[in-house]
Amino acid sequence: MLPILLKTLPFFAVIALGYGAARRGFFTPEATAYLTKFVFYFALSAMLFRFSASLSLSEVLDWPLMLAYAWGTALVYLLAQGVAFWRGISVAEAAVEAQCAVIGNVGFLGVPMLALLLGPDAVGPIIMVLSVDLLVFGSLIVILITGSRDGRMSLGIFRTVGLGLLANPMIVSLSLGFGWSALELPMPAPLDEFLVLLGAAATPGALFAIGASLASKSAERLRVAGWLSFCKLVLHPLAIAASVLLVFPVDPRNGAVAIAAAALPVAGNVYILAQHYGVAPQRVSAAILVSTVLSILSVSGVVAWINKLPV
């Protein structure tokens, strides 16, 4: 595990640098918001477009992997929701807590870190995992929150979900990249160099932004944050491991990548949704903070374990 930990430490060191800069007031919340926008809309989009444009959708589209990941994720999602209902909280709050339990920081942290730790072949499975997160569970939370407030399901909910997906730069960049690949268009050298240059800013920019955003996070309600972090860092990868190793006929290598992706800490976009809808943002904030700190060891442990699996 130590060699893996040493490889992950630089990633978490950049997160710590961003955290320290924001805590000391050197990097303001406004600066963090604009850095996050730059990474989300430009640098990360360039990275994802270049990745997907160099891949064939028919080669990376792995239905057994996507079904296995969705099935394992749904188990933990339902467990977190069940515990939330047992505590007597609302449907909207339960949906937010369930989202914390299963949605990891695949875009900002997983793509750059897992590609380095597991090799370039991991990019395809990571994109499949990201697609399930965005399309299935990213839609589900909007449907549950909006439906619970309206008291019924309506076509307007699905219009909101559809527009939200179309406005997500990660979905747009992946779709455009796979479209480029399907048309077998050549990648002009200047365009490729532009994407490499812009995409190179995604990793340090995203990690720094994660750290800076953590500086404004609250550690209130640690008991709930600890439970949600346990779901995300322990139960989620265990459920995915059972799903890809025992239930579905998944390629072992791709399954290992899915397990590693499931071990990532709670994603920052869950907080954005919680804040947007005014549903338990402080609870999500604490879960992100706790899970990110604990993931320094947990992610290294999971990656060390899957490297021992027969592939």
The confidence score (pLDDT) of residue 273 equals 79
The confidence score (pLDDT) of residue 48 equals 87
Do residues 291 and 226 touch, judged by C-beta distance below 8 A? no
Closest Cα to residue 226, out of 105, 97, 136? 97
Do residues 65 and 255 touch, judged by C-beta distance below 8 A? yes
Sequence length of the chain is 311
From first to last of the 311 residues of the chain, give the pLDDT tens digit: 677 778 888 888 998 999 999 988 888 989 988 998 898 889 988 988 988 888 877 777 889 999 999 999 999 999 999 999 999 988 889 999 999 999 998 887 888 888 888 888 888 899 899 889 988 888 888 888 877 765 555 566 667 666 666 777 888 888 898 889 888 888 899 999 999 999 989 888 888 988 888 887 666 567 888 999 999 999 999 999 999 999 999 999 999 999 999 999 998 888 877 877 788 888 888 888 889 889 888 888 898 888 877 65
Do residues 265 and 233 touch, judged by C-beta distance below 8 A? yes
CA dihedral (263, 268, 269, 272) positive or negative: positive
The confidence score (pLDDT) of residue 155 equals 61
Host H or E run for residue 162: helix 155-166
Class of domain 2-306: mainly alpha
The DSSP secondary structure of 276-309, one letter per residue, reads HHTS-HHHHHHHHHHHHHHHHHHHHHHHHHHTTS
The confidence score (pLDDT) of residue 63 equals 92
- At 54, the amino acid letter reads S
Both structure tokens of 155: 């076509």
The confidence score (pLDDT) of residue 161 equals 65
Q: What is the pTM of this model?
A: 0.85
**End-to-end distance of the chain based on CA atoms, in angstroms?**
18
